[in-house]
Amino acid sequence: MPAIHIENLSFRYPDAASPALSEVNLSIQPGEFVVITGATGAGKSTLLRCINGVIPHFQPGSQQGHVWIEPEGQGRLAVARIAPPHLARLIGSVFDDPEGQIVSPIVEEEIAFALENTGVAPAKMEARIVSALAACGIADLRHRPTNGLSGGQKQRVAIAAALALAPSILVLDEPTSELDPDGTEAVLNVLTELNRQQGITVIIAEQKVSHLAPLCDRLILLDRGRVALEGPPRQALLQGSVFEKLGIEIPAPVRLAQALVREGLIPTFGSPGAPSLPLTVDEAFQLTRQLLEPERPEL
């Protein structure tokens, strides 16, 4: 049973000349880590809004098709028919701007605020706050003022606030776009842990895929509101030219590997005897070393 099932979904904003999404069909499995990518205006944020219920509950427009979620033990529920406070407990949402989504002066109050807003009983709050902060690696920030935090810390507070509601699905819209490399790494580590340790389904919309390709189970490439390509990252990025044509930069290790194929130094990826496509610098290093020193055992 998929965690999310999207069937023939189309959406047009009021007065828009063309639809933001057209006939999207997708199933996302429980515990999957999915990255939705595409150029500016491709429809990434709109798709996330259809999943977390901002569309149709808060954003008007014309929608066709269906978005269902299937929380464990609750059967298949149409997002359009779930009341927003209940939806917020099923699907946590985090946006690109940590400043814009934090409203409380102190970290623990920010998390308590999310719990109060969705009617969590006061007796359950302490345990939820402690475990959400711990899961995001920010237990030490509990009593800190939110306005003194770095971007990466703020973003982890925002994730903790969403997580305290115990959702089975987290959707994040460009969660690292405002962060420096350290903040990006800290946030991606937290998301990877939540996905692997707690089985939370993670869906990230992001234009830049280099950091995420090695972490995710599936890349979904949107082009003008349609799914242009989808698959496990090593498989999807074999069609690197499709990404580049749509303005999405492919990871440097993939570019290096493509150059090795072009020079005839290694077989075409996907053909018999070919190595697997490297997604990280370490994997590209191993591939290059095997070429230079074929007799030497792998590290």
> What is the binding site for ligand ATP (CB under 6 A)?
13, 16, 20, 38, 40-46, 207
Identity of the residue, 22 or 168, whose beta carbon is nearer to ligand ATP in the bound complex: 22
Q: How far is the CB of 166 from ligand ATP (least distance, A)?
A: 27
Q: How far is the CB of 244 from ligand ATP (least distance, A)?
A: 17
Q: How far is the CB of 32 from ligand ATP (least distance, A)?
A: 20
Please give the C-alpha separations between residue 112 and each of 128, 157, 162, in angstroms, as whole numbers.
9, 11, 11
Q: How far is the CB of 99 from ligand ATP (least distance, A)?
A: 17
Q: How far is the CB of 65 from ligand ATP (least distance, A)?
A: 16
118: Cβ–Cβ under 8 A, 6 or more apart, which residues?
85, 88, 89, 165
Phi and psi angles of residue 32, each rounded to the nearest 5 degrees, phi first? -75, 150
Identity of the residue, 43 or 175, whose beta carbon is nearer to ligand ATP in the bound complex: 43
Identity of the residue, 13 or 113, whose beta carbon is nearer to ligand ATP in the bound complex: 13
Identity of the residue, 68 or 95, whose beta carbon is nearer to ligand ATP in the bound complex: 95
Please give the C-alpha separations between residue 20 and each of 17, 93, 263, in angstroms, as whole numbers.
9, 20, 41
Neighbouring C-beta atoms of residue 276, cutoff 10 Å: 12
Identity of the residue, 138 or 220, whose beta carbon is nearer to ligand ATP in the bound complex: 220
Identity of the residue, 14 or 264, whose beta carbon is nearer to ligand ATP in the bound complex: 14
Q: How far is the CB of 62 from ligand ATP (least distance, A)?
A: 12
Identity of the residue, 38 or 92, whose beta carbon is nearer to ligand ATP in the bound complex: 38
The position carrying tokens 């098709």 is: 65
Q: How far is the CB of 255 from ligand ATP (least distance, A)?
A: 22
Identity of the residue, 38 or 251, whose beta carbon is nearer to ligand ATP in the bound complex: 38
Whole-angstrom Cα distance, residue 153 to residue 57?
30
140, 172 contact by CB (below 8 A): no
Q: How far is the CB of 243 from ligand ATP (least distance, A)?
A: 14
